[in-house]
Structure 1
Amino acid sequence: MTSYRQPGVVLTDRHFTVPLDHSDPGGEQIEVYGREVVAAGHAGADLPWLVYLEGGPGFGARRFNGKQAWLGRAVQDFRVLLLDQRGTGRSTPQNRQTLAGRGGPQAQADHLAHFRADNIVRDCETIRRQLTGGAPWTVLGQSFGGFCATHYLSAAPEGLRAVLITGGLPSLDAHVDDIYRASYPRVQRKVEAHYARYPQDVRLVRRIAGHLAEHRTVLPGGYILTPEAFQSLGIVLGGGEGSHHLHYLLENAFVRVGERYELSDAFQESVLAGLSFAGHPLYALLHEACCAQGKRPTDWSAERIRAEFPQFDAAAALAGDGPVLFTGETIHPWHFEVDPTLRPLRECADLLAARTDWPVFYDPARLAANEVPVAAVVYHDDMYVDTGHALDTARAIRGLRTWVTDEYEHDGVRASGPRVLDRLLALVNGEI
């Protein structure tokens, strides 16, 4: 273990060995990394543990500087473990480079089936027993991390002291098709709100999309920027500052070169940073699979359901005089054509989309009998997680306390500083 300091905190790098397949504990092993964080003044104290599960899937735990965002509130009461879920961050990586050594597409898909919430929770239980001596710990789950926390309540509630969920109460039984049918109208509302805030962007977005339709545009590194790929920049609109970020990205799109206009290098670099999956390929590979349960395949759900919402068709918008709508948190087959870091994994992605043997994540009877203190913030009209689905699940988990708010967007636990976490802790502790 290596320990070091940042302002106000002591950090320790921790590495854990866990089975790739927990049903075969003597088989292949992988590494899971966690960064322990404790307040400098409490470094030697006997504190309860809080493990943080990041959103995604496919993202390592957020890298904080000192006591940023919610972390400053957490270290008042806890020793915090910022966990890089299996396959992400500093844990044994899963990407086009490492998966190439697994063999063909079927072997790759079978391997990736071990990287969903069920095994993330099994990893947590293995790690918890090492860190706490068997004592239960508190889980803070953001977005997809909340999906994992809900599965935790179904699979191993004995390991839980309390559960805090921020923007991450999943539907217990909806197929991914149902999730996207609810999602596209929310995305349209977010786009319309952006255009109401920045009406000048309506014309600019049409101009950019039209340029991309007429000119094959390859970004640095080989990413092919199609109109559909450009539309997917709308994923940022679910964050509190996302609309402003998108506007400032768009305003420098063009540069004049003699008598013509080209997309500026600065714009292209910014777009690449926003669209590339080089740093989080599991997000693309498992995004729909992380919601899959039972025998019904996902079958590229976002792509199929998008056809039910023709207002998102860029070509049709350009042929008329309406706005080009951005899209949100969706993964499509063309992602595996335009992104060079995903191209080698297209067949693997197809096999995951066709898979029909997914384990079921949630146990309604066990959730209905839950005894673990649980609190969840539900962001009203959250672009990424349907409010209706979240509230249905909240009602299905015995004793769960909700805070429904439109003060924040999906990133409220970060954007609010200590406030969201402080309120959730007050709820599970019975202080309010």
Structure 2
Amino acid sequence: MSTPSRLPGTVTTDHVFQVPLDHEAPEGERIEVYAREVVASGREHDELPWLLFLQGGPGGKANRPIGRDSWVDRALDDYRVLLLDQRGTGRSTPATRQTLARRGGPREQAEYLARFRADSIVRDAELIRRQLLGETGRWSLLGQSYGGFCTLTYLSIAPEGLREAFVTGGLAGLRSSAEDVYRAAYPRTARKNKAYYARYPQDVAAVQRIAAHLVERPAELPDGGLLTVQAFQGLGMLLGTGGGAHVLHYLLEEAWVEGVEGPVLSDTFLAGVQSHLSFAQGPLYAVMHESIYGQRSVDAGGTEWAAERVRKEFPEFDAEAALSAGQAVYFTGEMIYPALFETDPALRPLRETAQLLAERTDWPDLYDPARLAANQVPVVAAIYHDDMYVDTADSLATADAVAGTRAWVTNEWEHDGLRVSGGAVLDRLIKMARGEI
């Protein structure tokens, strides 16, 4: 535990924990997991309930507060907050192209990363809980997006550690395979594209022009990455957030400048694209993404690049066909394609590792439907209507399947509602848990 630091309205303390790489072999190799404790100024010594925060991802580190900002402001009214950098992220023992090279070749790297899913994250949290709160202490849990997936795993394997659970945009389908997930995701993503082009109809032509250029001449990004038309379509990740459509529009506005030989894609545009598409700051998101859906009882085969395979069922996402037909070019969403491991410098060294993970067929189950049906931990969840990242139908079915769950379905916010609502989303969930709503 470090010396506490003081930020506006808060006191923060660093914690570093030693946990087993493989919780089935607790005497074996150990890694570090970092967490930041945050408490309101003047309440450092109060007996406050703990709230553990699990960030979205996979591969996303916890937010870095600069005081009483975002949802943390609301949480600090009632809780001592623990912001966990899930294993492999942030200040926890990192898993990147640089560090994974020390593990050996692709096979050794894949075996290592197979222990970086929700079940391991939850077991890390349980060790941390016992160290901070004692064997019988229980804490509250807030899971955003993938953090909500982890919450369902927590309720499946260690509900005794929880007093209540809040989930925002993260009720996963308990029995949904990776194929199921993407077969539902492409139509949602198409709707987001239609809404985007309805708001900015001038961008139909703007996107067509850029896409046509990239088909002929993929552009080099400042980091040495390659902007292909498929990579360009990945900017659709923005369309699932509250202000993402505007961010995308303004990015496109500065796409072109006049060079020596005529119009060229501007450095401003290419740098902006790189900032949204590069996985340098979160490679596990790409490497591990489809594995978060792997469960041997749901799909005995590997995930096998499900997003790529299912995409063929939705020809409206074929950019070259759209250009030939004079139609709008659709952006994709959070789909991860094998081509990204050719075009992104942060991912290139992990190409074979990712392939081995895609081929893996023995993923343990992450959810226990029977135990969830008998759940006794109060659960309150925000389900965002037509969430681009998590299927609403899956979320509603899971809310019904997990005993003690109260769901709030809203179209007021997109998937990032927890972060951008100024604490309003969390405030409502807390009031629901207390029976005030």
Structure 1 equivalent of residue 83 of structure 2: 82
In the TM superposition, residue 430 of structure 1 has moved relative to its aligned partner by 2.0
Q: TM-score, normalised by structure 2?
A: 0.98
The letter of the residue matching 2:288 is L
In the TM superposition, residue 256 of structure 1 has moved relative to its aligned partner by 1.0
The 3-state SS of whatever aligns with 2:76 is: helix
Structure 2 equivalent of residue 20 of structure 1: 21
Distance 2:223 2:236 in 1: 22
Match of 2:323 among 311, 318, 323: 318
In the TM superposition, residue 355 of structure 1 has moved relative to its aligned partner by 0.5
Structure 1 equivalent of residue 332 of structure 2: 327
In the TM superposition, residue 417 of structure 1 has moved relative to its aligned partner by 1.0
The letter of the residue matching 2:228 is T
Distance 1:170 1:412 in 2: 17
In the TM superposition, residue 103 of structure 1 has moved relative to its aligned partner by 1.1
Gaps of 5+ in 1: none
Distance 1:205 1:309 in 2: 19
In the TM superposition, residue 259 of structure 1 has moved relative to its aligned partner by 5.3
Structure 2 equivalent of residue 363 of structure 1: 368
The letter of the residue matching 1:227 is V
The letter of the residue matching 1:211 is H
In the TM superposition, residue 291 of structure 1 has moved relative to its aligned partner by 1.1
The 3-state SS of whatever aligns with 1:41 is: coil
The letter of the residue matching 2:16 is H
Distance 1:272 1:392 in 2: 37
Distance 1:116 1:216 in 2: 34
Structure 1 equivalent of residue 58 of structure 2: 57
Distance 1:39 1:118 in 2: 31
Structure 1 equivalent of residue 92 of structure 2: 91
Structure 1 equivalent of residue 287 of structure 2: 285
In the TM superposition, residue 3 of structure 1 has moved relative to its aligned partner by 1.4
Match of 1:398 among 391, 400, 403: 403
The 3-state SS of whatever aligns with 1:77 is: coil
Pairs within 5 Å for 1:34-49: 34-49=35-50
Distance 2:416 2:218 in 1: 34
Gaps of 5+ in 2: none
Contact 2:39 2:81 in 1 (8 A): yes
In the TM superposition, residue 258 of structure 1 has moved relative to its aligned partner by 4.2
> Number of matched residues?
432
In the TM superposition, residue 318 of structure 1 has moved relative to its aligned partner by 1.3
The letter of the residue matching 1:249 is L
Match of 1:376 among 368, 376, 381: 381
Q: TM-score, normalised by structure 1?
A: 0.99
The letter of the residue matching 1:331 is I
In the TM superposition, residue 63 of structure 1 has moved relative to its aligned partner by 1.4
The letter of the residue matching 1:93 is P
The 3-state SS of whatever aligns with 2:42 is: helix
Contact 2:61 2:85 in 1 (8 A): yes
Structure 2 equivalent of residue 8 of structure 1: 9
Q: Deviations over 1:198-223 (max 9, x none)?
A: 11111000001111111131111211
Distance 1:107 1:352 in 2: 11
Q: Deviations over 1:351-401 (max 9, x none)?
A: 100101000011111111111010000000000000000000000011100
Match of 1:267 among 254, 266, 269: 269
Structure 2 equivalent of residue 100 of structure 1: 101
Q: Deviations over 1:46-68 (max 9, x none)?
A: 11100000000001001122111
Match of 1:340 among 334, 342, 345: 345
Structure 1 equivalent of residue 310 of structure 2: 305
Structure 2 equivalent of residue 185 of structure 1: 187
The letter of the residue matching 2:225 is Y
Q: Deviations over 1:166-203 (max 9, x none)?
A: 00000001111011000000001001101110111110
Q: Deviations over 1:279-314 (max 9, x none)?
A: 000000110001110022100000000010011001
Structure 2 equivalent of residue 211 of structure 1: 213
Contact 2:218 2:229 in 1 (8 A): no
Contact 2:143 2:150 in 1 (8 A): yes
Runs of 4+ in 1 over 2 A off after TM superposition: none
Distance 2:93 2:335 in 1: 26
Q: Deviations over 1:116-139 (max 9, x none)?
A: 000000000000001112300001
1:408 aligns with 2:413: yes
Distance 1:133 1:258 in 2: 68
In the TM superposition, residue 404 of structure 1 has moved relative to its aligned partner by 0.3
Distance 1:125 1:394 in 2: 24
Match of 2:432 among 413, 427, 431: 427
The 3-state SS of whatever aligns with 1:240 is: coil
Two-structure CA RMSD over aligned residues (Å): 0.8
Structure 2 equivalent of residue 387 of structure 1: 392
The letter of the residue matching 2:295 is Q
The 3-state SS of whatever aligns with 1:36 is: strand
Task: Give % identity.
Answer: 60
